[in-house]
Amino acid sequence: MSSFKRLADAGDLTGKTALVRVDFNVPMENGLVTDDTRLRAAIDTVQTLRTQGAKVALLAHFGRPKGERVAEMSLAPIAGAFAKVLGSNVSFIADCKGEHVKQAMAQLDPAGVILLENTRFYAGEEKGDPELAKEIAELGDIYVNDAFSAAHRKHVSTAVLATLLPAYAGINMETELDALDKALGTPERPVLAVVGGAKVSSKIDLLKNLVTKVDRLAIGGGMANTFLAAQGINVGKSLCEHDLADTAREIMEIAAKNKCEILLPKDVVVAKEFAAYAENRTCAPDEVAPDEMILDAGMVTVAHLVDAMGKSKTLVWNGPLGAFEMTPFDKATVSAAQAAGIRASQGKLIAVAGGGDTVAALNHADAAGDFTFVSTAGGAFLEWMEGKALPGVEALKA
If one counts every other C-beta atom within 10 angstroms of the C-beta of residue 40, the result is: 13
Phi/psi-derived region of residue 210, left when phi > 0, alpha when psi is between -120 and 50, beta in every other case: alpha
- Best CA proximity match to 10, nearest among 391, 398, 392, 393: 398
Choosing from 67, 98, 378, 379, the catalytic residue is 379
The SS3 assignment for 2 reads coil
- Residue 112 is among the residues annotated as catalytic for this protein: no
Query: Exactly one of 170, 354, 355, 356 is catalytic; which is it?
Result: 356
Between strands 17-21 and 91-93, the pairing is unpaired
User: Cα separation of 123 and 102, whole Å?
Assistant: 21
Q: Give the integer Cα–Cα distance in Å for 379 and 193.
A: 18
- Catalytic-residue membership of 379: yes
Per the CB < 8 A criterion, the answer to whether 196 and 219 are in contact is yes
- Please calculate the CA angle 249-216-310 and round it to the nearest 5 degrees: 150
Distance (Å, rounded) from C-alpha 234 to C-alpha 13? 64
Contact 339, 240 (CB under 8 A): no
Q: Which of 287, 368, 292 is nearest to 333 (CA)?
A: 368
Annotated catalytic residue, options 199, 208, 272, 281: 199
List of E strands, 244-321? 261-263, 268-271, 280-283, 293-297, 314-318
Does the active-site annotation cover 331?
no
- What is the rounded CA–CA span in Å between residue 160 and residue 158? 7
Residue 356 annotated to the active site: yes
In DSSP terms, 92 is beta-bridged to 115
Q: Of 160, 154, 151, which is closest to residue 180 (Cα–Cα)?
A: 151
HSE, CB side, 13 Å, CA atoms: give it for residue 236.
21
Residue among 285, 219, 222 at smallest CA distance from 255: 219
Looking only at the bridges linking them, the beta strands covering 32-33 and 28-29 are antiparallel
d(CA 30, CA 383): 33
| List 5, 38, 120, 331, catalytic entry | 38
CA-based torsion, 27, 29, 31, 37: positive or negative: negative
Q: Which residues are catalytic?
A: 38, 199, 356, 379
